[in-house]
Structure 1
């Protein structure tokens, strides 16, 4: 076992760890800043007793070794003087860390004021003395403007001594102390590979997860913060299951490089395949009906919609051209572009549909009171709309990334199974999305059907993610790029 593996940052009980229920889920735990500060204080006290160093010096030593207790104790026993020097503690000097009046003949090397009998000064154990006003201004600049805390050095020329918390407490305001502590907490999390801050705006929680960087091609470590934000612990992006982080990075880079093409294919209008009237997509569902000729078709493949509920449904698969159609370089290049457009178009469509589905829900929510009064249903009974909306958001997020995943897959039996699972989930999502867009006065009669379809969508998503996660872990998938 690596030292880092053994150096678990918090005392955890089995009941505190999120149990793994499915193959695609990982164990994780969420901590508040107060949790982290309590652990820091506990660790500092424990190590301080072992080393015989004061708590403020022990804290500096722990930060120097990135809070690896075993490594610190080992280095301290082997090369104490060298470690103290490297950490910014150095040799003890016969001076005390306290504010006192300026000694005779003193001149502050920062503001050059001298001969002031009432001037207060401060020096750490390195002996570099400055007036209190300059020292305070220096610390304020470091903490408030530069965001520094863990490695604030003495303002003396070429001095490597680190300003400890005890010295800082003598000099700065309570408000600045709070900012200093906040920065130290952030440094602690940043120093630990198994901890990351939740990337949601204004969120103060940190997440612990033991999935390592070397495992990110086999595991997609999606975690859920206490603020309800889902993100990938590996790359801090929003949940991108089932696609692994290296693949996501590659896909986003490709989409960025092909931005002009992507802009072209993600246009919001298309022509009716029968009468060629311009049609705008204003909902999440892909079932389109031309207002002019009433032709029903699929927004994605432009095929007849009636075939999408049968075994003929093949909208999610990219059909390779025969070899004779791709003999020369130009044909191969065109086929490569068509293949990319197939997957990107569906990727972008699910992203757009998720936003449109959410907009529809927000509009529907305002009519839920009307649904209550017209149907006699209680507020709790109409919550099936919210559950359906959340399921649509989650499933479309998954479907979006299945197309990035499928783009890089080499064709084999596993690919067929993956696309079958993808197809089943996509058909279920389209059915639920279509029901979701019905007029409010029809929603009461669709309640049972919508609840059943919501549950079915969730189950199909779990099946897809479980199957993909299991094959990823054992390295069964073959990649094209």
Structure 2
């Protein structure tokens, strides 16, 4: 049942032949889906297949192998299934074994009959069924076991609908592992819905076994992604959803799938005993008034009229020290500032908390800033209502800016995971930290611009600032990711266990 729960329902039927053509880890770091995903994530070469194109691709693979093996189509499909759709491995075993009978036996496939499956159905006789013990019309499979047509139908329906077995269904006889071919299953099953489910399971199994294919994980999406080289790379589906081809989660560059999984596991374990990490309130460093963060920008202004202190939400330092010209000081953990008398375990904990806090801060900022889409829609409507000369096209830069802002937040979130695990062995980490610091400063600035009120008086000036900062953020995001990718190719990075 668990296997069936994991299967994806896709909307195209597998057309085995003309006779059948009548009758388809939860991430611990929740990501907020943006309204628009037009930001260039450096997608790698990939193709998007509809479910019917997946079926055609599967049939092309079968025909390519069958042009050499010259076997019934469904027998070839079952052999490919046995070898996890590795065509080269199948061909090698088929010809190197010297005994095709042994290969068929190992795969649980009866030796291909000389006659077609229709012969077996027409050769039915009346007899006593070993399952229901009634005298009924019988059908016998190539292994020699015979059962009534009603029991065959009920058995196959249970296997397909309840057990999720479509690609490899054995004979119902006890201790018999001989598999039924697809055409026989289609002819024995009466319900068209069961036949369609059977076709879905075969198609889904093909995708699951093929390292170059992956269903888009977006809800209600029936597209499949095909890549030239299976790797943990960001890909984009035709539905607009971006995801990592390696793990199927939302894009998480620059951190690898394995490190992200490791981080998530630690985060889950630590959050059970450290719920304070998720706290959304802090005290003003000047007057100690409790402040709640309601927006994504980290530039805080104390609302205490007797204070009005401006400070950074992340480190609680004066905001004036975070000016772009002085660089952003919250990205790098400084071990020399930690009291040397502290134990090694305490140092490890403080280092983890440093990166964890910043990771969660960007995650929370991203969640809050995702609401900017609705805010921007209202701002655009207000501007067009107040000024008839402002066209719809002229205010689209606001939505694009939010796209870029969220993309930068996503990269910064995962950049802190990368920074936590990476070890400097050649000076490249310093370059990474500088890129991270620059991107973070620009992102905070863009966030602040987008949270400002837009009026007729500041419209032109704010538009210029938002567009300029958006372009700069996108450039710096690309620079950071390309530097990490280059490091992967050139083996610059070394990570802690």
Same topology, TM > 0.5: yes
Among 130, 133, 143, the alignment partner of 1:126 is 143
Q: Distance in 2 between matches of 1:438 and 1:101?
A: 80
Three-state SS of the structure 2 residue aligned to 1:120 is strand
* TM-score when normalising by structure 2: 0.84
* TM-score when normalising by structure 1: 0.86
Q: Look up the match of 2:334.
A: 319
Question: How is 1:380-419 mapped onto 2 (pairs within 5 angstroms)?
Answer: 380-411=393-424, 413-419=427-433
Q: Look up the match of 2:18.
A: none
Structure 2: runs of 5+ lacking an equivalent: 1-39
Three-state SS of the structure 1 residue aligned to 2:455 is helix
Among 280, 283, 296, the alignment partner of 1:271 is 283
Question: How is 1:284-295 mapped onto 2 (pairs within 5 angstroms)?
Answer: 284-292=296-304, 293-295=307-309
Change (3 A) 1:270 1:76: same
Mapped pair 1:379 → 2:392:
yes
Three-state SS of the structure 2 residue aligned to 1:366 is helix
Q: Look up the match of 1:17.
A: none
Size of the alignment, in residue pairs?
446
Q: Do the aligned residues in 2 keep the contact of 1:300 with 1:315 (CA within 8 Å)?
A: yes
Three-state SS of the structure 2 residue aligned to 1:157 is coil
Question: How is 1:348-387 mapped onto 2 (pairs within 5 angstroms)?
Answer: 348-375=360-387, 376-387=389-400
Question: How is 1:62-461 mapped onto 2 (pairs within 5 angstroms)?
Answer: 62-77=80-95, 78-91=98-111, 97=118, 98-99=120-121, 103-104=125-126, 106-114=127-135, 119-172=136-189, 173-211=191-229, 220-260=232-272, 262-292=274-304, 293-309=307-323, 310-311=325-326, 313-321=328-336, 325-327=339-341, 330-375=342-387, 376-411=389-424, 413-441=427-455, 444-445=459-460, 446-461=462-477
Q: Do the aligned residues in 2 keep the contact of 1:23 with 1:466 (CA within 8 Å)?
A: no
* Deviation of 1:245 (Å): 2.1
Superposed CA deviations along residues 302-347 of structure 1, whole A, max 9, x for unmatched, are: 1111121132631111111268x324xx433322222111111110
Change (3 A) 1:395 1:322: closer
* Deviation of 1:111 (Å): 1.2
Q: Distance in 2 between matches of 1:154 and 1:398?
A: 52
Superposed CA deviations along residues 193-220 of structure 1, whole A, max 9, x for unmatched, are: 222222222322222335557xxxxxx5
Q: Distance in 2 between matches of 1:69 and 1:409?
A: 39
* Deviation of 1:126 (Å): 2.3
Q: Distance in 2 between matches of 1:278 and 1:59?
A: 66
Q: Look up the match of 2:13.
A: none
Q: Do the aligned residues in 2 keep the contact of 1:283 with 1:353 (CA within 8 Å)?
A: yes
Q: Look up the match of 2:489.
A: 473
Structure 1: runs of 5+ lacking an equivalent: 1-21, 214-219
Three-state SS of the structure 2 residue aligned to 1:326 is coil
Mapped pair 1:43 → 2:61:
yes
Change (3 A) 1:409 1:262: farther
Q: Do the aligned residues in 1 keep the contact of 2:327 with 2:437 (CA within 8 Å)?
A: no
Q: Do the aligned residues in 1 keep the contact of 2:423 with 2:494 (CA within 8 Å)?
A: yes
Q: Distance in 2 between matches of 1:312 and 1:226?
A: 39
Q: Distance in 2 between matches of 1:66 and 1:150?
A: 11
Q: Distance in 1 between matches of 2:351 and 2:200?
A: 49
Q: Do the aligned residues in 1 keep the contact of 2:363 with 2:410 (CA within 8 Å)?
A: yes
Three-state SS of the structure 2 residue aligned to 1:441 is coil
- Structure number with the bigger relative contact order (C-alpha 8 A, sep ≥ 6) is 2
Q: Do the aligned residues in 1 keep the contact of 2:328 with 2:438 (CA within 8 Å)?
A: no
Superposed CA deviations along residues 38-86 of structure 1, whole A, max 9, x for unmatched, are: 1222333343342232222222222222222333233223221111112
Change (3 A) 1:289 1:192: same
Change (3 A) 1:439 1:46: same
Q: Do the aligned residues in 2 keep the contact of 1:99 with 1:132 (CA within 8 Å)?
A: no
